[in-house]
Amino acid sequence: MTTTHPHATRSDIQSRLDALRVEIERRNPAQPEFHQAVHEVLDTLAPVLAARPEYAEPGLVERLCEPERQVIFRVPWQDDKGRVHVNRGFRVEFNSALGPYKGGLRFHPSVNLGIIKFLGFEQIFKNALTGLGIGGGKGGSDFDPHGRSDAEVMRFCQSFMTELQRHIGEHTDVPAGDIGVGGREIGYLFGQYRRITNRWEAGVLTGKGLGWGGSAIRPEATGYGNVLFAEAMLRERGEDLEGQTVVVSGSGNVAIYTVEKLLALGANPLTCSDSTGYVVDDKGIDLELLKQVKEVERGRISTYAERRGASARFVPGGRVWEVPADVALPSATQNELDEEDAAALVRNGVKAVSEGANMPTTPEAVHLLQRAGVAFGPGKAANAGGVAVSALEMAQNHARTAWSPARVEEELAHIMSEIHGTCHETAERYGAPGDYVTGANIAGFERVADAMLAQGVI
How far is 2 from 107, CA to CA, in rounded Å?
38
Nearest one of 290, 264, 268 to 279, comparing CA atoms: 290
User: Using the 8-state DSSP alphabet, how is residue 20 labeled?
Assistant: H
pLDDT value for 27: 97
How far is 91 from 69, CA to CA, in rounded Å?
8
The class level of CATH for 69-201 reads: alpha beta
pLDDT value for 3: 44
pLDDT value for 450: 98
How far is 320 from 328, CA to CA, in rounded Å?
9
The strand order across the sheet containing 277-281 reads: 271-274, 277-281, 312-316
Residue boundaries of the structural domains of the chain:
10-64, 69-201, 221-382
pLDDT value for 7: 58
pLDDT value for 4: 43
User: Which residues are known catalytic residues?
Assistant: 138
pLDDT value for 9: 81
* Contact status, residue 207 vs residue 186, Cβ threshold 8 Å: yes
How far is 180 from 170, CA to CA, in rounded Å?
23
pLDDT value for 115: 97
Q: Which residues, at least 6 apart from 247, have a Cβ–Cβ distance to it below 8 Å?
A: 269, 270, 271, 320, 321, 323, 325, 327, 328, 329
Quote the CATH superfamily of domain 221-382.
NAD(P)-binding Rossmann-like Domain (3.40.50.720)
Which helix (H) or strand (E) element contains residue 426?
helix 405-429
pLDDT value for 57: 81
Which helix (H) or strand (E) element contains residue 107?
strand 101-107
**∠235-239-244 over CA atoms, to 5°?**
120
pLDDT value for 113: 98
**Residue ranges in the chain whose pLDDT is less than 70:** 1-7
pLDDT value for 2: 44
Query: Is-same-fold flag (69-201; 221-382)?
Result: yes
